Amino acid sequence: MEMNTQVTGFRIAHDLPGRIRLRLARLGHPCLASDEFEAEVLALDGVREIRTNRRARSLVVTYGGGAEVRAGLLQWLAALPANAFRHECDPYPSSRRERTPLVVSALALLSLPLLPAPLKSLVTLASISPTVAKGIRTLLNRGVKVEVLDALAVSIAAGHGGFFTANATHLLVRTGGYLEARAERQAHSLLKQLLKRPPELAWVERDGELRRLDAGDIRSDELVVVGPGDPVPVDGRVEQGSALLDHFSLTGESVPVRKEPGDEALAGSLAVDGRLVLRAIRVGENTAAASLGRYIEESLRHPSNSQRLGDRLVYLTFALGGLIFGLTLDPKRVASVFLVDYSCALKLGTPLTFISGMHDAAEAGILFRGAQVLENLADADTVVFDKTGTLTQSRLEITDVIPLRPDRSEEQLLALVASLEEHTRHPYAEALVKYAETVGYRHVDPGAVEFVIAHGLQTEINGKDVFVGSRHYLEEHLGISFASDQPLICDRLAESKTLLYVAEDKTLIGLVALSDRIREEAGAVLARLKDLGINDQIMLTGDARHRAEALAKELGIARLYAEQSPDDKLQVVETLKADGRKVVFVGDGVNDASALVAAQIGVAMPRGVLLSREAADVILLRDDLESLARARELAVRTRSRIARNFRLDVGVNSALLVAATFGWVPPVAAALLHNGTTLAILARSLRKRGVADAHSGIGPAISD
């Protein structure tokens, strides 16, 4: 669809499926708030990536979702007022503001040969004053940092009449700072561009009619209608219809997923085709997308131990400069030493390497809570798996619903259990509720349902106490006898089934049998983790020992802890840590939260309850265990890249320090060579290296 440039202010320069290049006159306007404009385009439904070239007035958009997304983009651009995204009070975009000091410094340097001696000192003082002032502020507020060394270097040069040296050094410092700031913004945008804001409007059934409402006004339990090309505004359960949903912005998964009645749909996904009616479960800031957004924002604020190393190395440079001055009394040598600082490249290159690695991981459906988590995962030597939903499929199957008393039918027992279990999100509960909805059941209205962690549920119905949970809970805590039903129970246990027991007052009235299957990829993932250096692999589970032992034997897991309560799981993790192990804990249930927090690295599976995701250091967004191996691989690779950057930085700057110490390198050359090394490390840190695709299987490690 070609648009008229005269009317819309843009034209299509190139058009391919999933990618379009546009010419926009507004991109050349000096008052355009380009960051805001790019953020709005990136937030449009279905838009995955954008690239702008303001000088060429070019906008390249990569999108998913088909023709509807393309049409929506063009309609949005056509509807923009001519003065949209312009700052009346700010005639310069932010990048121009940052370039202005560089231009001033360059003009000061070029003007020196034309100026008489008195003016040279005044121009130099005016030019270098921002760097000197920044050094003083840094010293007063943060102590000795690289900014202090820069200020000392240019001040020493100017104080001894080296006006050209002072101005040239100042220009190099400013140029390096400008390029470093651009690199840092680019790195942060890598992560932030993965986030999509929820749609502003949505179709909601309210008061018996379909209304177009602000998405922020949707209430829990309301019905929301999502059509082709529409984004999903809430986390909800599909009540009617079916559709293909694009989860790219949530999981990085490029293949749309079909959703049907009973399935859960997450805010931030996009309907490629079909139509859904959703029952809102979580709305607004409580959606999974909003939670992941906060997670990513928080991850940018967590430095690692490697990042802190750069600041400590400043003191080494400062001490060496003092020593050189004491031995030689040569200020030029001291200025050269101060300009050759180990910390600069490490301070900037290390966080950018981490951010780049976190972006690669996020694109593969893996979220890290900060750089230190990447570093910890690279150092880990022990992995502890919770069984259900981790080593086994997260979707359990109901195989038997067995009444144990003649006054109860199978339908009545199922209705009772499903009505209680719908109040929790444990994998057992989800399987029961979905099965009950499939076969049809009459809902029982229970009283207040109490959730006893790792044991079960209890409530009161028609004056009788009703309990659903494990045998340990009913038998040991409630004193309910299992003796008369033991043969039937043993038959089901012999089939490696998981049993939920139902009691009324002090009588066992039924049981529900569930089965779970080992994940197809589990064996390959465990082998891959061993190849990546995690040899100690442990399984924890609350299940009966005989089932756990069969699973551990099949997967080749040597260490097993069965019939574990949440406190038991926590104790296992604490014991491993006390023995000096660096522990990764992988789980998905509410009873895993304490162990997730206690481990050096807590990993939450995607179907985990909200509490486990909030407690985790790593969130796997795709429901496959292969993401764990990819996360470890990426962490090791990121640490390896940082180590190589460190060796490059130390090697080059050590040579420069030796040269500066003996007076072989003047300050200008020292600044040029040092900043060149820093920028080379920054470029290396931001190199994009993807993670293996989710469906490619576990392959060999990707070298850096």
Per DSSP, the chain holds a count of helices (H) and strands (E) of 24, 24
Among 45, 341, 386, 624, the active-site one is 386
The residue type of 554 is E
Contacts for 12 with CB less than 8 Å, ≥ 6 apart: 1, 2, 3, 20, 21, 22
Per-residue pLDDT band at 56 (split at 50, 70, 90): confident
Per-residue pLDDT band at 180 (split at 50, 70, 90): low
What pLDDT is stored for residue 530 in this prediction? Answer: 92
d(CA 364, CA 621): 8
Nearest Cα to Cα of residue 358 among 291, 306, 295, 270: 295
Q: Which of 231-240, 253-262, 345-354 has the highest mean pLDDT?
A: 231-240
What pLDDT is stored for residue 570 in this prediction? Answer: 84
Q: Judge contact between 287 and 293, C-beta under 8 A.
A: no
pLDDT digits (tens, 9 = 90+) for 397-440: 888 999 998 888 999 898 888 888 887 767 677 788 888 888 88
| CATH class of this structure's domain 397-515 | alpha beta
Which residues of the chain are in CATH 3.40.1110.10 domains? 397-515
Q: Between these two residues, 364 and 401, which has the higher pLDDT value? A: 401
Which residues of the chain are in CATH 2.70.150.10 domains? 201-286
What pLDDT is stored for residue 444 in this prediction? Answer: 78
Residue 221, both tokens: 């339990």
Mean pLDDT calculated for residue range 196-224: 79
Give burial (CB, 10 Å; 0-12/13-18/19+) of 16: exposed
Share of the chain above pLDDT 70, in %: 70
Buried b (16+ CB within 10 A) or exposed e, 95-121: eeebeebeeebbebbeebeeeeeeebe
- How far is the CA of 571 from the CAs of 3, 373, 383, 676, 688, in angstroms? 66, 22, 15, 51, 40
What pLDDT is stored for residue 629 in this prediction? Answer: 92
What pLDDT is stored for residue 230 in this prediction? Answer: 79
Share of the chain above pLDDT 90, in %: 9
- In 3-state terms, what secondary structure has residue 14? strand
Asked whether the predicted pLDDT for residue 699 surpasses 50, the reply is no
pLDDT digits (tens, 9 = 90+) for 344-356: 555 555 666 777 7
What pLDDT is stored for residue 90 in this prediction? Answer: 41
- In 3-state terms, what secondary structure has residue 550? helix
Asked whether the predicted pLDDT for residue 446 surpasses 70, the reply is yes
Q: Judge contact between 459 and 453, C-beta under 8 A.
A: no
What pLDDT is stored for residue 528 in this prediction? Answer: 93
- In 3-state terms, what secondary structure has residue 562? coil
pLDDT digits (tens, 9 = 90+) for 578-632: 999 999 998 875 566 778 878 888 888 876 545 455 667 888 877 788 889 999 9
CATH of domain 201-286: 2.70.150.10
Asked whether the predicted pLDDT for residue 133 surpasses 50, the reply is yes
d(CA 668, CA 336): 8
Per-residue pLDDT band at 502 (split at 50, 70, 90): very high
- Known catalytic membership, residue 341: no
The residue type of 295 is Y
pLDDT digits (tens, 9 = 90+) for 282-333: 887 777 666 666 655 555 555 555 555 555 666 666 676 677 767 777 666 6
pLDDT digits (tens, 9 = 90+) for 638-676: 888 877 777 776 677 677 667 766 777 666 666 666 666
Pick the CATH number of 5-79 from 3.30.70, 3.30.450, 1.20.58, 2.60.120: 3.30.70
Per-residue pLDDT band at 382 (split at 50, 70, 90): very high
Q: Judge contact between 508 and 480, C-beta under 8 A.
A: yes
Q: Judge contact between 694 and 365, C-beta under 8 A.
A: yes
What pLDDT is stored for residue 88 in this prediction? Answer: 47
pLDDT digits (tens, 9 = 90+) for 61-81: 988 877 888 888 888 888 777
What residues pair up with 648 in beta bridges, in sequence order? none
Got the DSSP string for 615-656?
H-SEEE-SSSTHHHHHHHHHHHHHHHHHHHHHHHHHHHHHHH
Per-residue pLDDT band at 558 (split at 50, 70, 90): confident
Across the chain, mean pLDDT equals 76
Contacts for 651 with CB less than 8 Å, ≥ 6 apart: none
Mean pLDDT calculated for residue range 52-56: 79
What pLDDT is stored for residue 690 in this prediction? Answer: 47
Contacts for 295 with CB less than 8 Å, ≥ 6 apart: 367, 369, 619
What pLDDT is stored for residue 678 in this prediction? Answer: 64
